[in-house]
Structure 1
Amino acid sequence: MTDPAHIPETIATYMRLRGLEPTSRGSRRKRRRVVDDENAPFTPGRDPRGLGDVVAALTRASGWDSQLAREDLVLQWERVAGAETAQHASPVALGDGVLTVQCDSTAWARQLTLMRATIVTEIARRFPEAGVSSIRFIGPDVPSWKWGRRAVPGRGARDTYG
């Protein structure tokens, strides 16, 4: 071969990487076999996984856990609150960690307010990803003249009726 001093560095590098340049026996390295743990047989993680595990991993990776936990909470409200309570109260909104539950009567709303700690504990135990920190119980839906959090206090519409 030609003298390495006369060959440009880029061509010399190319030839060395292609194995075209003879190397001395002392500089040869023994190639180590690269073990690909992911594809090696009989290693942990190679067993087939169930469909439920695959879907759980997908929802976790996509960030859907909290939304699905909220929907499960609404669907399983009867199991969380009890059959009789679920007949008279149902969740209507969930925002900022506050679950709003509408009751058939103000008496049911008051009774469930007294049971708030028990219900919140049960929700936190069953659905920790839902992010429910408190519950607000409201009575039956009645028309209101007050709208939003920033409504101006006062007599409202009554003062226009004369």
Structure 2
Amino acid sequence: MPNDEVPDAAGQAEQESAELDAAQAALNRMRQAAQSRGERRVRSASVHRQQKKAARSANQRSTSGSARDPQGLGGILNRMVAERGWTSPVAVGSVIAQWDTLVGAEIAAHCQPESFDGSVLQVRCDSTTWATQLRLLSTTLLTRFESDLGPGVVTKIQVLAPTAPNWRKGGRTVNGRGPRDTYG
């Protein structure tokens, strides 16, 4: 068998690389000719498709696309609260729910929010000492509420006195007689 009929593997690899180099050289000549004519190079179709696909997926992440696409529960609730104008009632609820983190553990151990009247927060303390302390801290707490919850949610803190024991037992009472022998 003659030697020129069956090329070895090394010869075949040399021939393929020469063909690839020839193709690259021809491509480079074409690019130079186009550039000399003033034509500009455009993206290849595959790069163009990839960029369009990336833009489409980024767009779908920002907007859900269709109303039937699944959405996160948090996004649905935020949209529903905003559409119905419930932002301040939700913020009021968050004051009561997050009271411990908003005011700190020490204040929360002795003072608890009772109710809201408009934007006035009513807080009941367990002693007159803590009621006085909370009155002194009210401006600091209001600025913290404004920064954490937003402006206008809580505009005033009304401190309520601690509750005294009720000595009335039953439906009928006599005025002016006092607790009588309850102190032993």
Q: TM-score by structure 2 length?
A: 0.51
Given that residues 91 and 101 in structure 1 are in contact (C-alpha distance below 8 angstroms), is that contact kept between their aligned partners in structure 2?
yes
Cα deviation for residue 89 of structure 1 reads 0.3
- The aligned residue for residue 120 of structure 1 is 142
2:94 counterpart of 1:80: no
Q: How do 1:1-162 and structure 2 match up within 5 A? A: 42=56, 46-47=60-61, 48=64, 50-128=72-150, 131-142=153-164, 161=176
Q: What letter is aligned with 1:98?
A: V
Instruction: Give structure 2 stretches of 5+ with no counterpart.
Output: 1-54, 65-70, 167-174, 178-184
Separation in structure 2 between the aligned mates of residue 86 and residue 110 of structure 1, nearest angstrom: 15
Cα deviation for residue 99 of structure 1 reads 0.5
Cα deviation for residue 112 of structure 1 reads 1.0
Q: What letter is aligned with 1:102?
A: R
The RMSD of aligned alpha carbons is: 2.7
Instruction: Give structure 1 stretches of 5+ with no counterpart.
Output: 1-40, 145-159
Question: What's the % identity of the aligned pairs?
Answer: 31
Cα deviation for residue 68 of structure 1 reads 1.3
Q: SS in structure 2 opposite 1:73? A: helix
Relative distance call for 1:72 and 1:130 in structure 2 (3 A) is farther
Separation in structure 1 between the aligned mates of residue 104 and residue 161 of structure 2, nearest angstrom: 19
Higher RCO (CA 8 Å, separation ≥ 6 residues): 1
Separation in structure 2 between the aligned mates of residue 161 and residue 120 of structure 1, nearest angstrom: 42
Relative distance call for 1:60 and 1:126 in structure 2 (3 A) is same
Relative distance call for 1:98 and 1:62 in structure 2 (3 A) is same
Separation in structure 2 between the aligned mates of residue 66 and residue 45 of structure 1, nearest angstrom: 31
- The aligned residue for residue 21 of structure 1 is none
Instruction: Write 1 or 2 for the structure with the bigger share of helix.
Output: 2
Separation in structure 2 between the aligned mates of residue 140 and residue 51 of structure 1, nearest angstrom: 41
Given that residues 59 and 65 in structure 1 are in contact (C-alpha distance below 8 angstroms), is that contact kept between their aligned partners in structure 2?
yes
Larger Rg over CA atoms: 2
Separation in structure 2 between the aligned mates of residue 116 and residue 45 of structure 1, nearest angstrom: 46
Separation in structure 1 between the aligned mates of residue 59 and residue 145 of structure 2, nearest angstrom: 33
Given that residues 99 and 135 in structure 1 are in contact (C-alpha distance below 8 angstroms), is that contact kept between their aligned partners in structure 2?
yes
Given that residues 70 and 130 in structure 1 are in contact (C-alpha distance below 8 angstroms), is that contact kept between their aligned partners in structure 2?
no
Q: SS in structure 1 opposite 2:56? A: coil
